[in-house]
Chains A and B, each alone.
Chain A
Amino acid sequence: MANPPKALVLAGEGLNCEVEAQQGFLRAGFDAKVVHVRDLLSGKQALDADVVHFPGGFLHGDDIGSAKALADLIQATRIAGKPFVEHLAQFVQDGGIVYGACNGFQCLVKLGMLPAFDGKYGQQTATLTFNQSRKFEMRWVKLKVLPSKCPAFDGMSEIELPVRHGEGRFTVYDRFGTASPAKGEEALVRLFQDGQVLAQYAQKTGSGASPTQFYPDNPNGSMQAIAGICDPTGRVFGMMPHPEGFLEFENHPLWHRRKDALQRAGQPLPKEGQGMAVFHSLFRHVKEKT
């Protein structure tokens, strides 16, 4: 392989999943580099990659709302006289992928990079707000993967991943907000119609994966159980769960049980965690494109 695809993994300002996210990219075959957010916003680091990843963390402590401060700072950033958001939109138009997980997803949504209806990047139309439980929670969820424009979950119908957040409720309107409920409902319909929903929180028990509004399988009370979305191109996407938290088969809390059962049944053990599927999918997508 001549030049492997390149991934930039952002770090700094409270982001904290850069190490495992970089591992995910590396193991899938990417040339993955950790880059400080400030270097990206100062122009010191160019957007010269196939994928830019906004990983999870606590950007600025989520002090004025999750990832809100970074979204504000990015909105206020200009490089070479042009708003940074326009550079990012250009990057996507040129075939680049922008991927956010958890805090990074919150940032992309508040920045208006998602869902970016009609390609209007920079206009916020949705949000991720406080969990209905009003608590930060760490738990494992099952996701139903929807057919979407996004290359993240190639060929999968369900996946198990960890969530760890206090503000993950996907919302398009609220009784105290300024967005109108009618418009919000319209947006929800559109997200599904246009293949912009990646995955939904699903019931953990039973076979298959059916979306649920019930806690704790839906850990935050997201509208329509939405766990992740993409833009109209599919190349900007994000989700609350953490694929990089499940790189190894043994990251799953019940791996001892699963291993024991598989061994007794004479079946082989998975070689890696389900979260790796996302990194492999992205790798295939970038390779096919070039």
Chain B
Amino acid sequence: MVHRIEVGLREEPGLAKKIQNLLGLPVTEAYSMSVYSLDFDVSADELKQLAEQAYCDPIVEKAAYRKAWVSENPFHFDLLIEKRFRPGVTDAVGKTARQVATAVLQRALKDDASVYSSTQYLFRAEKGRNLTAQDGQNIATQLLGNPLIEQFIVLTKDAFKDGERVPATVPKVADSHKPVVEEVALSTYSDEQLQILNKYRQMALNLEELKAIQKHYKDPQFMQARKKRGMGEKATDVELEVFAQTWSEHCKHKEFNAIIEYKDVQTGKTQIIEGLFPTFIAGATKQVSPHCPWLVSVFKDNAGVVQFNDEYYFALKVETHNSPSALDPYGGALTGIVGNNRDVAGVGMGGADLWFNQFYYCLGDPHHEGPLPPRTMHPRLIYEGVVAGVRDGGNKCGIPTLNGGACFDQRFMAKPLVYCGTGGLMKAKIAGRDSAEKNVLPGDLAVQVGGRIGKDGIHGATMSSVARSENTPVTAVQIGDPITQKTMFDFLAVCRDNGWLRGITDNGAGGLSSSLGEMARTSNGVRFDIGVAPLKYHGLQPWEILVSEAQERMTLAVIPAHIDEFMQLAKERGVEAVVLGEFTDSGFFEVFYNQKPIAYLDLEFLHQGVPRKRLQAEWRGPAQFPQKTVPQHPVPDAVKAIVSSLDVCSKEWIFRQKDHNVKGGTLLPPINGVSGQVNTPATLIKPTFLPGREAAAMSQAAYPKYSDFDSRQAALCAFNEAVGKLIALGAKLPQDDTFWTACDNFCVPDSVYSEQNPDGKYKLAQLVRLCQGMYDYAVALGIPFTSGKDSMKNDLKYEKDGKTFRISVPPTLLISLVAKINDYAQTRSIDFKAPGDIIYVIGTTKNELGGSQYAEQFGIQTGAVPAVDPAESKKVFSAVTDALPLAASAYYVRQGGLALAITECALAAGIGAEIELAKVPKTGLARSDLLLGSETQNRFLVTVAPENQAAFEKTLHGKVTFAQVGTVSKHTTVTFKTLEGQFESITLQELSDAYTGPLRQDLPEIKI
């Protein structure tokens, strides 16, 4: 019997307002309560104890357990909605409630005794208005939850009066499948049969790859070896799944390793590129590595590792989680950030301690009104969901979110991009061994630790369209459980520091199949039994256990001599750990299910056997847009237009709900200034536990809109901006004792030419040029890439009126940088410091308004995007570094141009400035608004105290173009003397309204 405990109420004024704003329904008040459904027997006393003491805060809540809360406590409502998870979705609250029940009742509960959590909402309508069951469905599915992972029970006031109640049932997984291993006579299959198999099993391999596998199953030596192990000649479904996972685009990056024929139509020349990754990414690092003595481990592990100081390593990783975030923004972003955390915690011998998180969102306009692309959620909901997901992932694990940004474009409505990044620190030597190396030895135990295995993430998105029954577990979308993960990491840190581990990796894409397959490479073999793996529920097939992407799990190589201590500590810490098997040097990947062999694969073939792809790219030159000029605007209007564009405006609301101070190391938060609303271009953190003034500075940048002109410039500008922001803060270009580490993250549309993708060759050329730009810059500045990731098919395809349409994201490269700061006391912030200080602009402003915020605000694509000459960058940056000790504030002028620069420096300080635009060094610009809106790179806005003027100018003299353009004022106004000879003023209040308005907390009413 199921017992319901309802605990409440909480007022939800924000929710009521959201329903009015977005759905236009007359809801005036909203309330919520927590519901716990106990799926086990309890006595009346026990039920009362749980309800009134354990689950209820008596100061602010009442508990009901005999009848519904609303029956026990007369409470008028017009509509009731209860939201609960679908079967199989992670229910963290239910898990905690069960743990509490066990302790409070002082008795062991049966294995299948569960507590299920749900939330009940009560709504009141405007007087005289009604709320229907249909209204309830709309509220539920659009604002309260996501039908992919949640179920809703809607009761109107009248239904409740008629005696209808929320049923006392639970979303239990009921699956009575018997575990079976299917066999496939692969060697006898025709090409056509291979294709059918591929489709049926959702393997996502091409014919060439399938044939390579087939050929392997005809190899007499391999057959002989199988026979010895008790395996037949046929391939098992388990083995086919292992191939599909290991050879997937996600794991093998086949397109980034493909041979590309790159044709430049303008010059007629064709170039053969031996893989984008080896040529441009690993290639750049190889080029610069002789000058980077601090490189420790690049590209071969879950994160890139560099030397922070003599004692510590620093690890950096950035991932994307785009498709999951499109299906369920909250869950997708949450699993994105906690999944990326596992990469950093899964680096080297025992993982790094998580130090900070970062994010970057590319989204549709949250103010969008009008039709949406098919099968997409409204951008407002995606925006709010992904912000909340990254927030909870960081906050709940106690990791400060230190850096982030967002940009907006219509195309991201079809496919949002969600980048999640993490930095970590680890001791360089642990138990006398190099902590960055995984030296797994034969005989080391293969151990899984953390959450249980369910059908989560199996074959991801494709399954979501398959018809579901009431009790089918949800597979497509996952919800993370940050606390289970945090508890596991606390435990693993002890194991690592005790020297019990020899290797660690996370269970992400491909689950155990990938994690054990990867780790087995260092010892050259693994043998394990998935029959002992802990499951969430019955009914999983052996292949499902192997490839499940259930969250919060790590795979370890534990030194056998320490296994008893390891298991004892796991028990004490409440962390589930199980020995699955052992690493070997057999050269084979051997899987058993309850002692019966079910997979036997040659490791060498598994990892090296995938045939290389060949792709074609065709570059037709930078896009030519019709020449149109932005109509001239008075300076105040132009400035307001620029600083109120979504890409550059204040991101306070996004950051305010993210903890950026936990761990006590933050020295410059991501939002700052006297009002706490100004975006910080580059942020700063120190290791709390280390004395001294060593710190790490970080920045990131992306210019997806520049890719519409020329993706090469998009890459150069992104990289240059990220570097420029660090230089303004006080980082010095790479030296022997100061590491720089770069992470490259590509999100591109389908760039493989086919009949269905007719402009695939052009798109691939755009990708090639992104890589070329990035390579040239990295090599010139001497900055190595240490890790990165590519996400290749960011398109939405749909049929309408018998025609196929496709919306593709612009090729987007996010550059994330972290650089060492040897003395953080020497850094500079962006805010003007004192009235009377002299304002300088360094660098010449050019007529580069293509893709600029100013042009875009008026819907114009015109002119040239900023060009970057890396040699010039190097010169300017060195000069600024030399002069920085004499500066009071420093700001790298970027997207949003001088208009944004002046605005942010003034708002951060709470004081204004007087500026004479004629003095700004410029070429080809005669209009004040264009001068303020141009996004030319390699410019800085610096202020200097009058007593430092002479020394400052002397330091820069002859090295860069610079000019004194005004002074900091004591007033709260920015006054411009324009090129047209007028004086125009704008108050800080006006600037603040424009800058903080677009993404403020309460976004305006729209119809979704």
Contacts and interface: CB of A to CB of B under 8 A. Distances in A.
Interface of A: 11-17, 19-20, 23, 36, 38-39, 42, 44, 56-58, 60-65, 68-69, 72-73, 75-77, 110, 124-127, 129-130, 134-140, 162, 164, 171-174, 176-179, 242, 244-245, 247-248, 250-251, 253-257, 260-261, 264
A177 B657 contact: no
B1003 interface: no
Given A68-B57, A69-B100, A256-B827, A57 B676 contact: no
Interface string B73-98: 00000000000000000001101110
Given A73-B100, A251-B664, A257 B396 contact: no
Contact of A38 (B100, B573, B657, B889): B573
A244 B396 contact: no
A158 to B, nearest CB: 18
Given A64-B34, A76-B106, A248-B667, 8 more contacts: A20-B662, A23-B688, A23-B689, A73-B100, A126-B59, A134-B14, A138-B658, A164-B662
B102 to A, nearest CB: 9
Contacts of A248: 664, 667, 686
Contacts of A12: 487, 490, 573
Contacts of A126: 59
A250 B96 CA distance: 38
B574 A64 contact: no
A58 B398 contact: yes
Those 4 A-B pairs whose CB atoms lie nearest each other, nearest first:
A16-B398, A20-B664, A256-B829, A63-B96
A261 to B, nearest CB: 7
Contacts of A178: 58-59, 62
B193 to A, nearest CB: 49
B486 A16 contact: yes
Nearest to A174: B60
B95, B106, B662 pick with most chain A CB within 10 angstroms: B662
What secondary structure prevails in chain A residues at the interface with B?
mixed
A178 to B, nearest CB: 5
Contact of B483 (A14, A39, A179, A250): A14
A179 B57 CA distance: 10
A255 B55 CA distance: 43
B483 A63 contact: yes
Contact of B663 (A19, A44, A124, A260): A19
Nearest to B50: A72
Interface string B1-16: 0000000111011100
Nearest to A254: B674
23 contacts: A13-B483, A13-B487, A16-B397, A16-B486, A17-B662, A19-B663, A44-B572, A58-B397, A64-B54, A64-B93, A69-B96, A129-B60, A136-B657, A138-B656, A164-B395, A173-B59, A174-B61, A178-B62, A242-B661, A250-B667, A253-B676, A256-B831, A264-B834
Contacts of A176: 8-10, 60-62
Contacts of B12: 134
B97 A64 contact: yes
Interface in B825-850: 825, 827-829, 831, 833-834
B396 A58 contact: yes
B338 to A, nearest CB: 12
A42 B572 contact: yes
Interface string B393-428: 001111000000000000000000000000000000
Interface in B610-667: 655-667
Contact of A250 (B36, B59, B825): B825
Contacts of B709: none
Nearest to B655: A138
B313 to A, nearest CB: 18
A20 B59 contact: no
Given A72-B54, A134-B12, A60 B662 contact: no
A108 to B, nearest CB: 14
A57 B398 contact: yes
Nearest to B484: A61
Nearest to B490: A12
B431 interface: no
Nearest to B392: A136
Contacts of A63: 92-93, 95-97, 117, 483
Contacts of A38: 572-574
A256 B59 contact: no
A241 to B, nearest CB: 11
Nearest to B55: A64
A135 B657 CA distance: 7
B183 to A, nearest CB: 43
B58 A136 contact: no
Interface in B96-120: 96-97, 99-100, 103-104, 106, 117
B59 A129 contact: yes
B351 interface: no
Interface of B: 8-10, 12-14, 34, 36, 53-55, 57-62, 92-93, 95-97, 99-100, 103-104, 106, 117, 391, 395-398, 481-483, 486-487, 490, 572-574, 655-669, 672-674, 676, 686, 688-689, 824-825, 827-829, 831, 833-834, 888-889, 909, 945
Nearest to B494: A36
Nearest to A138: B659
B660 A138 contact: yes
A179 B688 CA distance: 42
Nearest to A74: B103
A39 B572 contact: yes
B836 to A, nearest CB: 11
Given A136-B391, A251-B661, A177 B688 contact: no
B103 A179 contact: no
Contacts of B490: 11-12, 36
Contact of A245 (B104, B658, B664, B945): B664
A162 B9 CA distance: 29
A61 B831 contact: no
A19 B353 CA distance: 12
Contacts of A60: 96, 99, 483
A148 to B, nearest CB: 22
A110 B661 contact: no
A173 B14 CA distance: 22
Contacts of B674: 254, 257
B100 A245 contact: no
B9, B395, B658, B660 pick with most chain A CB within 10 angstroms: B395
A64 B9 contact: no
A120 B395 CA distance: 34
Given A39-B572, A73-B103, A245 B657 contact: no
A248 B691 CA distance: 11
Contacts of B397: 16, 58
A55 to B, nearest CB: 10
A71 to B, nearest CB: 9
A179 B61 CA distance: 9
A251 B667 contact: yes
Contacts of B824: 250
A58 B58 CA distance: 21
Nearest to A57: B398
B96 A61 contact: yes
A58 B483 contact: yes
A57 B649 CA distance: 31
A177 B60 contact: yes
B58 A124 contact: yes
B294 to A, nearest CB: 24
A179 B573 contact: no
Contacts of A42: 572
A171 B99 CA distance: 27
Contacts of A242: 661
A169 to B, nearest CB: 9
Nearest to B14: A134
Nearest to A129: B60
B9 to A, nearest CB: 5
B54, B62, B663, B688 pick with most chain A CB within 10 angstroms: B688
Given A20-B688, A61-B483, A176-B9, A245 B58 contact: no
